[in-house]
Amino acid sequence: MSAQSFNFAGQHILSVNQFNRDAIEYIFHIANQMRPYAQRQKRTEVLRGAILGNLFFEPSTRTRVSFGTAFNLLGGEVRETVGMSNSALAKGESLYDTARVLSGYSDIIAMRHPQAGSVAEFSGGSRVPVINGGDGANEHPTQALLDLYTIEKECKSHGSTIDGLHIAMIGDLKYGRTVHSLCKLLSLYNNIHFTLISPTELAMPESILSAITNGGHKLTITDQLSGSVDADICYQTRIQEERFTSQDEADKFRGKFRLDQAIYTKHFQSKTVIMHPLPRDSRAEANELDNDLNQHPNLAIFRQTDNGVLVRMALFALTLGVENIMQQHEKPVLWQTPKSTL
Amino acid sequence: MSAQSFNFAGQHILSVNQFNRDAIEYIFHIANQMRPYAQRQKRTEVLRGAILGNLFFEPSTRTRVSFGTAFNLLGGEVRETVGMSNSALAKGESLYDTARVLSGYSDIIAMRHPQAGSVAEFSGGSRVPVINGGDGANEHPTQALLDLYTIEKECKSHGSTIDGLHIAMIGDLKYGRTVHSLCKLLSLYNNIHFTLISPTELAMPESILSAITNGGHKLTITDQLSGSVDADICYQTRIQEERFTSQDEADKFRGKFRLDQAIYTKHFQSKTVIMHPLPRDSRAEANELDNDLNQHPNLAIFRQTDNGVLVRMALFALTLGVENIMQQHEKPVLWQTPKSTL
Amino acid sequence: MSAQSFNFAGQHILSVNQFNRDAIEYIFHIANQMRPYAQRQKRTEVLRGAILGNLFFEPSTRTRVSFGTAFNLLGGEVRETVGMSNSALAKGESLYDTARVLSGYSDIIAMRHPQAGSVAEFSGGSRVPVINGGDGANEHPTQALLDLYTIEKECKSHGSTIDGLHIAMIGDLKYGRTVHSLCKLLSLYNNIHFTLISPTELAMPESILSAITNGGHKLTITDQLSGSVDADICYQTRIQEERFTSQDEADKFRGKFRLDQAIYTKHFQSKTVIMHPLPRDSRAEANELDNDLNQHPNLAIFRQTDNGVLVRMALFALTLGVENIMQQHEKPVLWQTPKSTL
């Protein structure tokens, strides 16, 4: 597990486009080293005294807490801001000013904002590294990285690799920034087979399809789940019925992009790993990923969120340049921890 | 001060029903040991690096901050979530999913939620201990424990014990989960005299009355404060006038369930300790607990909130299994602290 | 740089009126010692285990985060409350009760509240020091102190002192608590020349003018920026057009109280330092301080916010009585930090 070393110290993490395959493998190499800290076998205090500015101008509980926890697990402190209604941004302050001011209050910033491009604009005024926690319809690079990291771990536990992977993506492939970024990252690997299953109205954009085919990968496109799909990964996303042109159209597709135990058994093989970016709608009328798969060993959705902590820890360690000294500042965990998963 | 030892490590704290008298005495025994840390005579870092997920899906400033402070006083970090309007729960995520995800972000969770039963349901998906910080009309076990702990301390300072206590409860005894839980806990002790003073419309529920009488305790029920009440404790609660069937009815009772210096002197003895779950309405039209008692030495309402920190510290230490090693990780307090109370 | 020593331990910081010049110089002497911690050359853990109650009943992202960061930089923990809509205060709890309760949860409190006088009232019930983070139209003493501290640093870098300073204040001088407090503080020094430039409707209140003239300072009052202003500092504030009696009146003054590169060059000397309390409105229609000055070396607006951290660190250290032992608890900074400014 020796990966080529990269120096990310002082860099912003804004987009998946800034990584090549070697860089990603180095990030994952560091993420692997975070596992004993996240599993509470031991602690590290390498970032004791460092401050994360966790700026969620658009609320997102799980992403916000995941960033904060990741920073705490490295020993650092977190100062948070949630929402924008009372902020100076709402009163006409420029992102440049906000960045100049708030970057004086922390050592690193994680930021979510509803407007595409806003995090990159903010980073132009920041004096500390900025990690994009989601900027509207544009990018959510840590989600894409944790998805890819999960795919690698799941492949490894099945004795395979990302190279040669067959992934089926199901649902709303048009509006989901998650699947777009994941396709870009997977395209950096070799010989991937993408099976894209979506209603025509919600098909994967042309730019992503080009990235896939330009990478020499195999592409199968269909508007419904049928027959046997020999996929290693089934990446399920939410479809919102209001996306369809009419209720008739929506009714026509009802259940065609949903996954439950029966549909899984009918169309997939026993090896197929189920992923979902979460949250999922678990209400009765939802059309998504059923609770009857909750105990299935191949349901990786909670491994995804657990892995998100590891990936975010890795990005913090890398951008702050401490990835090689974490072990020197380890401490024992004194409390009893029931965690056996992860 | 040797109490029977219990192992709470890894357990959820969901309801007062899960404790017997010996368990409560062990919790209080540990709470007593928290006093020097809360009084800033010294610190402990036994939970350094541990993370509390402080999930207040229903806002409550004092309970939230009390939990957070208690965890900080043991050396741990706090990641907070307040409100639910932007959360995935509001978008149809199940409590099971929320619990599975968020329990990957912390070592222990304190949770408040407006819906009865929600915290127990959440705990079913959590991989770490969950402490109920209030689930709607159902339970608020840490409030009940801090009330009982306060009663024990107040009794002790008057040379008595909980056994043989006479407690008067005044006001809205129908809707107050606080008095319900406190009655259950007191019923575990011996020979308690409950004097319940409330308008008929707001009388204590039958189930609680049964618990009291089944425990062999003495019960006095009346619809107004009259004569001399030989109580050790007067537990006052808020009455909201809109609870009455008509304004005439409300006016009839106006002042009958209020406590001020004159009413206190008329009906109670000089030893009687005044308690209230707080917050109290201090506006002129309020019908509750007057500010003219603020300097009374028997007013224990702020000792209650101070004691809440000790009790919550004890529950954190117990559920994380560190109650016997706190002293090994003590540090000096370097700053000057004006606190003389508690 | 030996300043007369003062003992602020246990004191509330409520108003600029509580300081004389010697006290201010001692605060600034301590603030100077905070620079290496804020610049991340090293850390101090003197307040490790201490808890700041950061109570922002009125939201203010930058002031709140600045206080929190300042406390973290001294090694302490922060428990925050933002907003008031769900708080007990909104349900009729008195500030006295809130203070009694919440002061049991922290070692020191920073508080903002929309109502003038509220922080002082709160401090009457608090058992720990309270620092006023802004109470409505009344006071914002840490802003005034950071402004004065910035003026001293800017003067020093130009080889001068506050004594003998010429400061021009521009814009809304009637409603800005910032300029009022700053005038009071500057009046403690010698031989200041105040040039006050504002529309007549928004002129500096008489009470402040009296403080200035009673201090023997020079006062120039005008309703528009004209000619050459030989000022060391140009302190710009926001004018809101709705302050004028009519749109005609507003239009008449449009651009008269705005600052951009051309206006600066026309009216000020190359030495003149530009300050602003921030946030500024950077939208096209704003009438304030233009972005074309962003790269000007004399634009001190971001040095102001950076200095705010130093001043707040100093106030925390002083009120907690640790200002002389910070160096004994220093630790190295392990991460790579790109900060070169401040």
Q: Which CATH superfamily is domain B16-140+308-331 in?
A: Aspartate/ornithine carbamoyltransferase (3.40.50.1370)
- Tell me which residues of chain A have a C-beta less than 8 Å from any C-beta of chain B: 40, 43, 45, 59-62, 65-66, 68-69, 72-73, 75, 77-78, 80, 83, 278-283, 286, 291, 294, 302, 305-306, 309, 331, 333-342
Query: Could you tell me the pTM of the whole model?
Result: 0.96
SS3 B148: helix
Does A339 score more than 60 pLDDT? Answer: no
Cα separation of A211 and A185, whole Å? 10
**Residue B272: HSE in the Cβ half-sphere, 13 Å Cα cutoff:** 25
Active-site positions of A read: 62-63, 91, 112, 140
Chain-chain contact of A282 with B92 (C-beta, under 8 angstroms):
yes
In chain B, what are the domain boundaries? 16-140+308-331, 142-302
- Go through B118-153 and write b for each residue having 16 or more CB atoms within 10 A of its CB, e for each that does not: bbbbbbebbbbbbbbbbbbebbbbbbbbbbbbbbbb
Nearest residue in chain B measured CA to CA from A42 = B49
Residue C247 pLDDT: 79
List the single residue in A48, A87, A105 with the smallest CB-CB distance to C66.
Answer: A105
Cα separation of A286 and A258, whole Å? 9
**pLDDT mean over A219-235:** 95
Give the active site residue among B113, B140, B177, B276. B140
Chain-chain contact of C104 with B68 (C-beta, under 8 angstroms):
no
| Structure-token pair, residue C70 | 């300042």
Residue A312 CA to chain centroid, in angstroms? 10
Give me the amino acid identity at B213.
T
Chain-chain contact of B281 with C91 (C-beta, under 8 angstroms):
yes
Nearest CA-CA partner of C99 in C116, C85, C114, C111? C111
| Structure-token pair, residue C108 | 């020191």
**C91 part of the active site:** yes
Residue C341 pLDDT: 45
SS3 A275: strand
Optimal mutation site among A54, A305, A334, interface B, most CBs of chain B within 10 A: A334
Optimal mutation site among A52, A61, A66, A281, interface B, most CBs of chain B within 10 A: A61
**B61 part of the active site:** no
DSSP bridge pairs for B13: B131
**Residue B4: HSE in the Cβ half-sphere, 13 Å Cα cutoff:** 7
Give the active site residue among C12, C44, C63, C98. C63
Which of residues A253 and A66 earns the better pLDDT score? Answer: A66
DSSP secondary structure string, B159-191?
Answer: T--STT-EEEEES-TTT-HHHHHHHHHHTTSSS
**pLDDT mean over A97-124:** 96
**C44 part of the active site:** no
> Do A335 and B46 contact (CB within 8 A), yes or no?
yes
Chain-chain contact of C72 with A88 (C-beta, under 8 angstroms):
no
Residue A176 pLDDT: 83
Chain-chain contact of A105 with C294 (C-beta, under 8 angstroms):
no
Residue B254 CA to chain centroid, in angstroms? 27
- Tell me which residues of chain B have a C-beta less than 8 Å from any C-beta of chain A: 9-10, 46-51, 53, 77, 79-81, 86-88, 91-94, 96-98, 100-102, 104-107, 127-129, 320-322, 325, 329
Optimal mutation site among A52, A93, A105, interface C, most CBs of chain C within 10 A: A105
* Chain B hits for C7, Cβ within 8 Å: none
Residue A272 pLDDT: 97
* Chain A hits for B53, Cβ within 8 Å: 65
**pLDDT mean over B207-229:** 94
Residues 6+ apart with CB under 8 A from B318: B6, B8, B9, B27, B30
Chain-chain contact of C302 with A49 (C-beta, under 8 angstroms):
no
For domain A16-139+308-331, give the fold.
Rossmann fold (3.40.50)
Cα separation of A28 and A6, whole Å? 12
DSSP bridge pairs for B168: B195, B234
- Count CB-CB contacts under 10 A for residue B202: 20
Q: Which ipTM value was assigned to this complex?
A: 0.95
Q: Is the peptide bond before A279 cis (omega within 30 degrees of 0)?
A: yes
Chain-chain contact of B334 with C47 (C-beta, under 8 angstroms):
yes
**CATH number 3.40.50.1370 is the correct assignment for the domain at C142-302:** yes
Cα separation of A69 and B109, whole Å? 13
Cα separation of B114 and B134, whole Å? 8
pLDDT band at B65 (very low <50, low <70, confident <90, very high): very high
Does the CA dihedral A110-A115-A120-A124 come out positive or negative? negative
Chain-chain contact of C94 with B338 (C-beta, under 8 angstroms):
no
Give the active site residue among C12, C64, C113, C140. C140
Tell me the shortest Cα–Cα distance from B104 to chain A, in angstroms. Answer: 6
Q: Examine domains C16-139+306-331 and C142-302 and report if their fold is the same.
A: yes
Residues B288-324: pLDDT tens digits? 899 999 999 999 999 999 999 999 999 999 999 999 9
Per-residue pLDDT of chain C (342 residues; tens, 9 = 90+): 467 899 999 999 999 999 999 999 999 999 999 999 999 999 999 999 999 999 999 999 999 999 999 999 999 999 999 988 766 776 789 999 999 999 999 999 999 999 999 999 999 999 999 999 999 989 999 999 999 999 999 999 999 999 999 999 999 999 888 999 999 999 999 999 999 999 988 999 999 999 999 999 999 999 989 999 999 999 999 887 777 778 787 777 667 788 999 999 999 999 999 999 999 988 877 778 999 999 999 999 999 999 999 999 999 999 999 999 999 999 999 999 875 444
Give the percent of chain A with pLDDT over 70. 95
Residues B122-144: pLDDT tens digits? 999 999 999 999 999 899 999 99
Q: What is the mean pLDDT of chain A?
A: 93
List the single residue in A278, A279, A337 with the smallest CB-CB distance to B107.
Answer: A337
Chain-chain contact of A102 with C338 (C-beta, under 8 angstroms):
no
List the single residue in A69, A80, A281 with the smallest CB-CB distance to B92.
Answer: A281
| Structure-token pair, residue A230 | 């020999």
**C158 part of the active site:** no
* Chain A hits for B92, Cβ within 8 Å: 279, 281-283, 286
Give me the amino acid identity at C56.
F
* Chain B hits for A278, Cβ within 8 Å: 88, 93, 97, 101
* Chain C hits for B73, Cβ within 8 Å: 49, 51
Secondary structure tally for chain A: helices H, strands E: 10, 11
The angle, 0 to 180 degrees and rounded to 10, between the axes of the packed helices B141-157 and B301-319 is: 120
> Do A149 and A305 contact (CB within 8 A), yes or no?
no
- Tell me which residues of chain A have a C-beta less than 8 Å from any C-beta of chain C: 9-10, 46-51, 53, 77, 79-81, 86-88, 91-94, 96-98, 100-102, 104-107, 127-129, 320-322, 325, 329
For domain C16-139+306-331, give the fold.
Rossmann fold (3.40.50)
Does the CA dihedral B31-B33-B37-B41 come out positive or negative? positive
